Structure 1
């Protein structure tokens, strides 16, 4: 047989083709250099926290577990939330009495007169879009009542389904002409998110009723008349560094008369004055005329909540200016003293000894020990010269008496523009402690501004990223969604916050809560209905960052540059001095998987295995829901560590948190200049 001559040209061509095919099918590996021995800053324990505002039924109808709406008849329409009830054609009358100045905070009560021997006559309360009642759970009913006349007329209290079926009942019998508190307990025989409370008198007679209240027994820490346990648990799970309260624009009020006044929110709940909520008619797309503040969740409860979840309390006070998007009312400078005194008294309420005037009130409310307040916000989103004038007066008074309390000031409602530029320059010239910046912007903005703080003055004021959320449609649009696109963009931006934690000492998403049927603003971090609550993808991004935060900053780079969007990748790195863990946060915003190799320089040794928590979805429109609350939620896996290297496929549209136990070099945590 005659063989064909061997062709070296053909062989070379074949090899070249194979090489080209290999280059096309094998993705290049992205190498990340982690310089763990180049510590350039410390991360404040307050780095990631929570911003609370009573918007979207966040307090009444939300985290405050009261189930009765308008329990003391103090809404502008006294019987709002109540309906007359006639059983078996019973007859009677309902009359709201106003005691006027005899009790300025709780002026009204209901006089119920039953005129029938048979049947029952009374009222029905609709709750906050219904009442969430669970089978087998205990519900505690209380009422202030007094009997008119010598008779002792029994009053039947019933839980009803939305269809009127009985879920449980109890009976109280008010006696005497003096106001007394009466209690009853009901264990529900069924579950209904739209249940109702019925209170009816049996037989003839007249009874006065006030502070008609119903709470689940199962509240946070089982505190009577407390907070919804499931909602607080979601907050506690974040391990937040701070709790900012009570807002937000609600601090300002549409007018100064409607501003938040902390002194009216403490003491006996029945003596806390009800106030219209500024969000009730703010947006034409979501008018909520029955939205009021009863302040059962007041400043004492805010401080207590912060303590419960291990967060530093961060109250914000009115600075003598109403919301500038509404009336923009201001207090004349020579009449600002009561506002300043409120601030001074608040610090004493939080930190003063139990023998001081305001510390004594705190102690009488059940907390003799101080709340250890270290931060105080002066104003919320004010801007212009009027704010600067008032801030200077506050600052002078507060620093004179409480020099150790850090003051938080504002740059207005926008992250740029003339209002921001003026306040940013002015507050820096005044050597402000912490400047609060807000940004509600499109997802693209968050990725484009990841380097926002790279060149901020390291010797200037610290930064509080006090309110931010990706607006997937437009700012304040009712069509904004808590989808993965928005959450992913926030994660990318947060790597920039963390890389600059030597300047940015606090950050919080906003708003916090939204009721499925009572919201005004979207997107929001946690959604609730009367029985359920769930975290959005945005919540899980916040939680991943806040529960995986180090104590010291170290560089993570590619090609000797910070990872700030090259190949749509974003990254930050930190060391946890307490646990000796190296923590890497890497966000892949591209639609392609990218192989990464992380070289861990500057440590003596590492453990052979680490962990990675992944948060991802291929669908940028994906959201969590009541039906599928964890559609997007973290998954944890083990990763191998060989020769101080970690190899990991960074999946499309993913947030990755890598943790590796390390043995640090001697002097590892000494700070270097950035």
Structure 2
């Protein structure tokens, strides 16, 4: 009861200030002549993790789930609708997994026995269905070994939720030996929950493996590539970097199931499928069909980084499993394989064609190096064990690749014992770039816009590697991408930008989630089998990324930075390439505010533009039904003299852009 009374008093105070406290005008000054520091091109980027079906079933456009029968239950995802099981026979036929001795990656195939010629069928359910679009083309491939030519034809069909055929093709399996077959067919209607039906004509046995289906229309039209609409959302942000393959996914629940990059490159067929750690992480969101095919592997991550103009930032295991799970440690004297993985990854990314790993990259289709500049050691480990292992990695990497910047970690929280210890020890080691993570309430983000104002300008640089405002802090399963979270992050980001001397990179997390298969919320991009959209948080990130500028400028009120006074936040930059002054303003109050920005010391053109991102309700959010409910609007702005007069709507993020003469 006491807490409730305190809460009501606080809320009442906030309401009073929101309604009555902002009548005065706020005057800001921007010194256009003096550059405080250069803004790193990596300032605003992307964090990708294979959570929420972000890879298989999401960014990676493969439509067949368990295509090579390698899930723990080898027929998961496959139905046999016309098999009538009894103690004596399988009347129509049966499909059973067969183990392959000696094969360490693709250990199973499927043996199909057809007992009569009445059309035995197997059906793949896809990733919560398959999204197919009317008149779009789809490319099917599979491996088959047709024993004694028993099977005359394989008929492949899309069926809708009512089992109606909405696209069809066929393959004639012509060899007793394993052979690849391909076919293309066109969908006759749009369906979000289609399935793939495979029917056999003939009587006898046929073996199948690597049954794969991709839309023809992928990103950059790459065969068996990435989902075009999702990559477009990433590309449109012009991100400075792409961190991959994730956070906790790097560590593994045990060391054995950590992410090992070498198993994610080379021929797709030879990449070993394994359970995704998010399969069992949350008891309230079990996803037993969540596995990693590694069709989206490190080569594809590097290629995607290049496609979207982002600097690649891979994170590798440091020999510590997730400390929230087993916390298993590789002894320091047994770290050589982990360290070699890091050194070999740099060679894979940057090495000449004459090197072993550079040759593999070349053979995969990319002779030109990927220009890797960063590598991360561990995700969010903590304690003396991490510092001890970091030292070993740092020594080995710098000895061979002194120009590679190493990302270290400060643990899973922005404060507390683990954070304080890590920061203290990493500063002693002259760490180059320290990764900080924070998942906190919207209020925390507003209150911490000045977090980096007092950080040592000569100390380690900061990578705000994972952050997101949580709408109900105690229950992540019900977190929403609401507008309050988004504009509170914007307020915090003005503080990141104002401290570009210290903060060199930052990224929201997680990046994306499947509508029907998520484990963690909120997320920046949401998708289903047919569509993808950016949340309000996405548009905040995009606004900052597209308008990061090249030079940091001072913006102050009475000589002080604006970090929440009158519920206002601000940062300012100059872009020497576009010859613009760019001012970002965030109003977190419930009422509109008048602001004057005095742009001192440079001759400016009278015409500019103003971009507004706002919504009247704290709980508003973008949805599949209304994907751009909260999205930016841009209009012309006329500057009179050196002072910009602005009316900031309640709950708004504003970007003012003025051309310099």
Please give the secondary structure, in 2, of the residue aligned with 1:100: coil
Match of 1:629 among 589, 611, 627: 627
Distance 1:131 1:581 in 2: 46
Partner residue, 2:649: 651
How far off is 1:609 after superposition?
Answer: 1.1
Alignment of 1:461-500 (within 5 A): 461-474=460-473, 477-500=476-499
When normalised by structure 1's length, the TM-score is 0.93
Does the Cα contact within 8 Å between 1:588 and 1:653 map onto a contact in 2? Answer: yes
Per the alignment, residue 114 of structure 1 pairs with 114
Contact 1:90 1:121 in 2 (8 A): no
The 2-side partners of 1:475 and 1:54 are apart by 23
- Give a deviation string over 1:577-603, Cα, whole Å, max 9, x none: 111100000000001111111111021
Report the Cα offset of residue 93 of structure 1: 1.9
C-alpha distance in structure 1 between counterparts of 2:413 and 2:200, whole Å? 55
Alignment map for 1:517-528 (pairs within 5 Å)? 517-528=516-527
Q: Map Cα deviations across residues 446-476 of structure 1 (whole Å, 9 max, x no partner).
A: 0111110001111111000000000110156
Q: How does 1:374-413 map to 2 (within 5 A)?
A: 374-413=373-412
Task: Please name the residue that 2:7 is paired with.
Answer: none
DSSP-derived class of the 1:74 partner: coil
The corresponding residue for 2:36 is: 40
Equivalent residue number for residue 99 of structure 2: 98
Give the Cα–Cα distance (whole angstroms) in 2 for the partners of residues 151 and 134 of structure 1: 34
Any idea what SS the aligned residue of 2:70 has?
A: coil
1:541 match: secondary structure: helix
| 1:616 pairs with one of 614, 617, 620 | 614
| Partner-residue secondary structure (3-state), 1:85 | coil
Structure 2 distance, partners of 1:199, 1:428, is: 60
* CA apart distance, 1:153: 2.2
Q: Is contact 1:110–1:210 with CA below 8 Å preserved after alignment? A: yes
**What is the number of equivalent residue pairs in this alignment?**
637
Name the CA distance, whole Å, in 2 between partners of 1:218 and 1:568.
46
Going from structure 1 to structure 2, the CA distance change for 1:133 and 1:625 (only over 3 Å counts) comes to same
Q: Given the alignment of the two structures, is residue 52 of structure 1 paired with residue 48 of structure 2, yes or no?
A: yes
CA contact (8 A) 2:613 2:653 kept: yes
Report the 3-state secondary structure (helix = DSSP H, G, I; strand = E; otherwise coil) of the residue aligned with 1:86: coil
* Deviating more after overlay: 141-150 vs 581-590: 141-150
The aligned runs of 1:217-366 (5 Å cut-off) are 217-366=216-365
Kept in 1: contact 2:468–2:508 (CA 8 A):
yes
The whole-number CA distance in structure 2 between the counterparts of 1:267 and 1:394 is: 26
- The separation in 1 between residues aligned to 2:441 and 2:83, in whole angstroms, is 55
Residue pairs, 1:581-592, within 5 angstroms: 581-592=580-591
The aligned residue for residue 71 of structure 2 is 75
In structure 1, how many angstroms separate the alpha carbons of the residues matched to 2:35 and 2:95? 71
Aligned equivalents of 2:21, 2:271: Cα separation in 1: 69
Native 8 Å contact 2:22 2:566 kept in 1: no
- The 1:233–1:26 alpha-carbon spacing in structure 2 relative to 1, beyond 3 Å, is closer
Q: Are 1:85 and 2:81 an aligned pair?
A: yes
State how 1:178-193 maps to structure 2 within 5 Å.
178-193=177-192
Which residue pairs with 1:201 in the alignment? 200
Over aligned residues, Cα RMSD in angstroms? 1.4
Q: Which moved more, 1:193-202 or 1:637-646?
A: 637-646
Residue aligned with 1:376, SS: strand
Aligned twin of 1:640:
638
1:28 Cα deviation (Å)?
3.5
Residue 27 of structure 1: how far off its partner (Å): 4.6
The secondary structure found in structure 2 opposite 1:349 is helix
Alpha carbons of structure 1 residues 592 and 182: separation in structure 2 relative to 1, 3 Å: same
Determine if contact 2:449/2:491 at 8 Å carries over to the other structure. yes
CA contact (8 A) 1:378 1:409 kept: yes
Q: What secondary structure, in the 3-state scheme, does the structure 1 residue paired with 2:589 have? A: coil
Partners of 2:388 and 2:163 in 1: how far apart? 58
Determine the C-alpha separation between the residues in 1 that align with 2:321 and 2:21: 62
Structure 2 residue runs of 5 or longer lacking an equivalent are 1-19, 85-89
Identify the range of structure 1 (252-261 vs 637-646) with the bigger mean alpha-carbon deviation: 637-646
C-alpha displacement at 1:660, in angstroms?
Answer: 0.3
Contact 2:237 2:545 in 1 (8 A): yes
* Alignment-derived partner of residue 511 in structure 1: 510
Cα separation, 1, equivalents of 2:324 and 2:107: 32
Look up the SS of the partner of 1:486 in the other structure: helix
Per-residue deviation, residues 636-658 of structure 1 (Å, max 9, x unmatched): 01111111121110110000000
Structure-2 separation of matches of 1:131 and 1:417 = 45
The yes-or-no answer on 1:31 pairing with 2:32 is no
Could you tell me which residue of structure 1 aligns to residue 10 of structure 2?
none
Structure 1 equivalent of residue 534 of structure 2:
535
CA distance in 2, matches of 1:90, 1:237: 54
CA separation in 1, counterparts of 2:360 and 2:328? 31
Contact 1:440–1:475 under 8 Å retained in 2: no
Higher gyration radius (CA): 1
Query: 2 CA distance for matches of 1:251 and 1:208?
Result: 35
* SS of equivalent to 2:506: strand
Q: Distance in 2 between matches of 1:560 and 1:76?
A: 63
Note if contact 2:156-2:199 (Cα within 8 Å) is conserved in structure 1.
yes
Q: Distance in 2 between matches of 1:332 and 1:151?
A: 55
Kept in 1, the 8 Å contact 2:151–2:200? The answer is: no
What is the Cα deviation at residue 152 of structure 1?
Answer: 4.6
Q: Distance in 2 between matches of 1:26 and 1:446?
A: 21
In the aligned structure 1, how far is the partner of 2:330 from the partner of 2:521? 32
What displacement does 1:479 show? 0.8
Mapped pair 1:66 → 2:62: yes
Moved over 6 A (4+): 87-90
Cα distance in 2 for residues equivalent to 1:639 and 1:168: 52
- The answer to whether the 8 A contact 1:470-1:486 is kept is yes
Contact 1:476 1:522 in 2 (8 A): no
Is contact 1:410-1:437 (8 Å) kept? yes
Q: Secondary structure of 2:81's partner?
A: strand
| 3-state DSSP of counterpart to 1:506 | strand
CA deviations on 1:392-428 (whole Å, 9 max, x unpaired) are 1101100000000000000000000000000000001
Residue in structure 1 matched with residue 454 of structure 2 by the alignment: 455
Deviation at 1:87, TM superposition (A): 9.1
CA contact (8 A) 2:449 2:493 kept: yes
Task: Note if contact 1:48-1:242 (Cα within 8 Å) is conserved in structure 2.
Answer: yes
In structure 2, the residue corresponding to 1:313 is in which secondary structure?
Answer: strand
Residue in structure 2 matched with residue 420 of structure 1 by the alignment? 419
C-alpha distance in 2 between matches for 1:556 and 1:581: 15
Separation (CA, whole Å) in 2 of partners of 1:419 and 1:481: 28
C-alpha deviation, 1:346, in angstroms: 0.2
